[in-house]
Chain A
Amino acid sequence: VGPESMTNDACLSYYGVISIGTPPQSFKVIFDTGSSNLWVPSIYCNSAACNNHAKFDPRGSSTYRQNGRPLSITYGTGSMTGILGYDTVTLFSILASSFCLSQTEAPFMQNMQADGIFGLAYPSLSLSSATPVFDNMMNGGLINLNLFSVYLSSNNQRGSAVTFGGVDTNHYSGSITWIPLSKELYCQITVDSVSGNGQAVACNDGCQAIVDTGTSMIVGPQSDIDNINAWLGASSQNGEYIVNCSNIGQMPDVTFNINGNQFTLPASAYVYQVQYSSCITGFGATGGNMWTLGDVFLKQYYSIYKRGQNMLGLAKA
């Protein structure tokens, strides 16, 4: 049983296509800076979750090598089990010899468009010491710089991208702010405070936050999230914070103060529409003291993960 847990976030929406094996078998994967393994469903899985997705068939790949070690990842409501395997992963036009876990069963994934999860966090988080694909790319000299960057388009269906080995100047404006990581396991940083209209509304004495492309919302401790949502005028309902969709234009900005810099989110970024024309804020509560800056934040800020120097770069997307 592995130590790594994973998401069951039903609001994740960005995925890219990779191929595994020879000849290549294609999969849609979520690029997740909050985990380190590559998971895809396989032919060994017959759950409803797997049957809704592309499955990897190791018999159809001449480059597949089976490790066979059983693994399990727990998440909020269950577990995903599988075996460790090795194969060639194709990213666009580049080949990265790597590992994949080729069996999975995770009910929450049944309705996700993505088939699997492509972990981009540090190797120390990886199960069974499997080298993450990005590290294999670096170790194999397939990319020049030990960094990758993520652009999540706010409005359009297209245009979002993960760039390995560099940054794309078309995806941000202004200068890049570099922030040292406070812990090199996830992309963890120190947030000084969260403010609105110049006043602190949460995280008054500083807090730790994980920058995570595998989380859709901004998540924080219950009391802080309650404070922000109360300040925004949102009402709590079944664990979500409801606002009137027609009020978005009048709602205030929320600013994350990080390393002496301000990263501001307009209401149009942190409010989104859900069922029956209601709207919820993108600030969700969790147990513990850790914050997670997910897609709600990352749609506004192009993020650069400078693994070589343990720095995070943020620039206006």
Chain B
Amino acid sequence: CLVQIPLEKGKRARVVLEEQGLWEEYRQKYPYNPMAKFDGSFA
């Protein structure tokens, strides 16, 4: 009754975008707004 799910540490989306030269464009288009996850008034 103990279930363990191994987690992989994958490449961050940021790193992928940086490698493609798209990070600056992405962050301007989709600025990170961490509070929006918890409070819709911040979305």
Contacts and interface: CB of A to CB of B under 8 A. Distances in A.
Contacts of A9: 32, 34
Contacts of B16: 111
B4 to A, nearest CB: 5
A166 interface: yes
B9 A160 contact: yes
B5 A162 contact: yes
A107 B37 CA distance: 16
Given A11-B12, A75-B43, A165 B7 contact: no
A215 B33 CA distance: 11
B28 to A, nearest CB: 9
Interface of B: 1-14, 16-18, 23, 26-27, 29-40, 42-43
Nearest to B35: A286
Chain A: interface secondary structure? loop
Where chain B touches its partner, the secondary structure class is: mixed
B4 A163 contact: yes
Q: Which size class do A's interface residues fall under?
A: 35 or more
Contacts of B33: 8, 75-77, 286-287
A164 B38 contact: no
Contact of B13 (A31, A112, A288): A112
13 contacts: A17-B5, A75-B36, A76-B42, A92-B4, A110-B13, A152-B7, A153-B9, A161-B6, A164-B5, A168-B4, A288-B42, A290-B35, A290-B39
A17 B30 CA distance: 27
B2 A144 contact: yes
A16 B6 contact: yes
A20 interface: no
A75 B17 CA distance: 20
Interface in A135-162: 137, 142-144, 152-153, 156-158, 160-162
Interface string A1-32: 00101111111111111100000000010010
Contacts of A75: 33, 36-37, 43
A91 B43 contact: no
B17 A158 contact: no
A66 interface: no
A132 interface: no
